[in-house]
Amino acid sequence: MNTAIIEKLFLEYEQAFNKLDIQKNAEFLADSFISAGPKGTIAQGKKEFTEKADKAAAFYKSVGQTSAKIISKNIIPISDQYAMVTVHWGVTFKKTADKMIEFDVSYIIQLTGDEPKIILFISHEDEEEAMKKLGLINPAKMSAIS
For every residue of 116-142, DSSP letters joined together read -EEEEEEESS-HHHHHHHTTS--HHHH
Average pLDDT by stretches of 10, the chain with 146 residues: 90 96 93 93 91 88 90 96 96 81 94 93 87 73 48
Say how far residue 94 (Cα) sits from the centre of its chain: 20
pTM of full prediction above 0.85: yes
Is the Cβ–Cβ distance between 49 and 83 less than 8 Å? no
Instruction: Give all domains of the chain, ordered by start, each with its CATH number.
Output: 3-145 (3.10.450.50)
Amino acid symbol at 3: T
DSSP sequence for 65-116:
EEEEEEEEEEEEE-SSSEEEEEEEEEEEEGGGTTPPEEEEEEEEEE-SSSS-
